[in-house]
Amino acid sequence: MDGLILINKTSELTSHDVVQRIRKIIKFKKVGHFGILDPLSTGLLIIGVGKATRLFPFYSKMDKTYEGEITLGFATNTYDSSGTPTSAAQKNFPQESILLKEMKKFEGEIIQIPPPFSAKKYKGKPLYALARKKKKFELRPTKVFVHSFELLDFKPPYLFFRIRCSSGTYIRSIAHSLGENLGCGAHLSSLTRTEIGEFKLQDAFKLDEISRIAAEGRLKECLFPLESILPQFPKIILLKKGEELVKNGQMITQQHILRIMEGSRQNSSEEFLSEYEIFRLFNPEGKIIALGRRLPGKRVLHPFLVF
């Protein structure tokens, strides 16, 4: 069993909890998630099964979209509603025009400091473990990119938003910094992840649905097979000789290729190999067998991930 399962995570569950439950439901050990959601957060979680777990480097770096609620008036030590207040409650809230102006400042490339209570590692240990023991550590700023930060509704002290951002962006940190900039304090009070790359929340299943479908023997209906994954990379159908070379981790050239597909477009020209860096490699029977990377300046493909 190889592929991806989209899960609609409920609150209170950790991402690890979801992985453990999926393992029990499908009776398969090789299961992993492609990007953590905080326990209080809900929404889209991508689960890799079997050989698909090796695709973590691709999906963990994809842009993500969230919708949520920020509460103005006070900050917390966790930057969300699970923490204790770190500032006195205020009731002087900004006008919507000022709020929109401050939200706009978070768009583009920004430098942010991760929350002290987070899974980010410091000297090999997660920050939350150090923070709970009240140990001192340095919070290092990181660069992230925010494509858009939209205000959906404003009912003081609550503001409802949608944000599309790069992987590694802490929405809790944005909420905390927004409160600092507005001078009234703020924290994240709810968050739902709605998109990861091309995957959307409306196509995800809740754990009880997965359990029922698996019990009915229809689990394949929930699985995105390896052959459908990473459609942004062109598809190469190999000749039998090319398949043999790839399985042994050896280079392939134009003479080992039956045809090249980019979406619905077929291209068999040698020049096509110079247009892209990564390709999905399929055997003549239509099964994906590897991902190949073009060597710089050459029309030779190296199978860097062989399934």
Active site amino acids: 38
- 8 A C-beta contact, residue 141 and residue 170: no
| SS3 state of residue 274 | helix
Which residue has tokens 């043999």? 244
* CB contact burial 106-120 (16+ within 10 A = b; e otherwise): bbeebebebbbbbeb
**Residue 201: which of 1, 3, 10 has the closest Cα?**
10
Strand partners, 143: 111
Contact 176, 186 (CB under 8 A): yes
Give the separation between CA 17 and CA 132, rounded to whole angstroms. Answer: 21
The b-or-e profile of 212-226 (16+ CB within 10 A means b, else e) is: ebbeeeebeebbbeb
For β-strands 142-155 and 125-126, DSSP reports them as: unpaired
d(CA 243, CA 240): 5
